[in-house]
Structure 1
Amino acid sequence: MARPWLNVLAQVVPVPLGLLLSGALVWAATNADWSGTSSNSGNTWTAGSMGLGNDSKVPMFRIDNMRPGDTGSNCIDIESNATFPTTLKLYSNSPNWPSNFQSFINLTIEVGSGGTAGDCSGFTRHKTVFDGTLDQFIALHTDFRTGLGPWRLSGKPPNSRSFRFAWKFSSSAPNSAQGTNTNEASFTWEAREQK
């Protein structure tokens, strides 16, 4: 004879038993997950730096008592301490001058290597970058955009360019040029980050 309570038990027990077993499986699965991590620490960011200097402590030229046909030259070494590649240019930020006296001073600028301020004996010319008159240079090359160049500097030593400036007082300078002097001329080198 069948026992009815066994039928009831067979129908009721599986549900809580199933819930209990599934909960145990979830708990075991949660606690059995392995994990691993990898980290990279000590990260910092430091900005690069850029500066420009030259080896001359005095003006390249202070010429007195010029006569027609007189010539001279001087060198200057421009050095960058930038920690990244830069573009170098040369210009003048002198104002335009009212007289035409500067048109009688012929100016040749060469870029190269070697040579120091006051001593061009070790200078090696790579290229002539300007051959005209002083007033033309002042009028045409007034800022970085219009400057002579560009010359690439790597950001690693040796990181410099040498320049030789040669001048000649024109043999055709008129009598009216006697006792005349130029306004102060400045030559500016500017380096900017290469784009």
Structure 2
Amino acid sequence: MNPNPFLQPNHGGLVTGRADLVRSIIRLAAIASAILLLTVLVVTRSDAAFTAVTDNPGNSLATGSVVLTDDDGGATALFTATGMSPGNPIVACITVTYAGSLLNADIKMYGSTTGTLDTYLDTTIEEGTGGSFGDCTGFTPASTIFNNTLENYATVHTDWASGLDVYTATATPQSRTLRITVDVQNNPAAQNLSSTATFTWEAQDV
């Protein structure tokens, strides 16, 4: 009986079991190294995927403009009436022009008043073409955009959001003329009263 189980006969000689163990370890190490190398190769190949790139250079951005003017010659008042009486209306025209680069801007009209006569002032506002500031000759109405008292105009239409629709600018420049007619009601309470009024036009690109 072989007293040492790690010693085995081999072709007439003895080879230590320790040598076999070393060879086994070497084989296992070689296999592990091969697996590690394969893993590294797989990872490396995964990092080298196909790629493609495209771009769109030279983009530029700029804003447009909203421009609105009228022909009052520098904030000259439409009305400077005194001694008004029922049945004798006063009439005035003014032309508003949109000249901004942004089309489809909405032009609206609103205003404010002071005093106490505005309650008794029947007011009609028409939108159309022809005529100019201080001269309604040639004015052709397209629509009536307001027909109530001047007090109502100033109370209800206080800003662009609540303003009267005048027109939408579909071209530039584009103009509209407003004809405003004001008459005193036949009411004794309207005597010896006065008011001031501001008419405002505003364009917004919406």
TM over 0.5: yes
Which of 180, 186, 191 lines up with 2:193 in the alignment?
A: 180
Q: Is the 8 A contact 1:54 1:79 kept in 2?
A: yes
Matches within 5 A, 1:1-195: 44-57=60-73, 58-85=76-103, 86-92=105-111, 94=112, 97=114, 99=116, 101-149=117-165, 151-157=167-173, 159-170=174-185, 172-174=186-188, 176-182=189-195, 184-194=196-206
The amino acid of 2:136's aligned partner reads C
Report the structure number with the largest CA radius of gyration: 2
Structure 1 residue 68, shift from structure 2 partner: 2.5
Give the number of the structure whose residues are more often strand, by fraction.
2
Deviations along 1:94-141, one digit per CA (max 9) or x if unpaired, are: 25x563x21211100000111100111111100001111111111111
Q: State the superposition RMSD in angstroms.
A: 2.2
Shift, 1:81, TM fit: 1.3
Distance (whole Å) between structure 2 residues aligned to residue 104 and residue 124 of structure 1: 27
Q: Gapped runs of 5+ residues in structure 2? A: 1-55
> CA offset at residue 45 of structure 1?
3.2
Distance 1:59 1:98, change over 3 A: closer
Give, in whole Å, the separation in 1 of the partners of 2:64 and 2:171: 10
Q: Which amino acid aligns with 2:180?
A: F
Distance, in Å, in 2 between the alignment partners of 1:138 and 1:67 is 22
What 5-or-longer segments of structure 1 have no aligned partner? 1-38
Question: Percent identity over the alignment?
Answer: 32
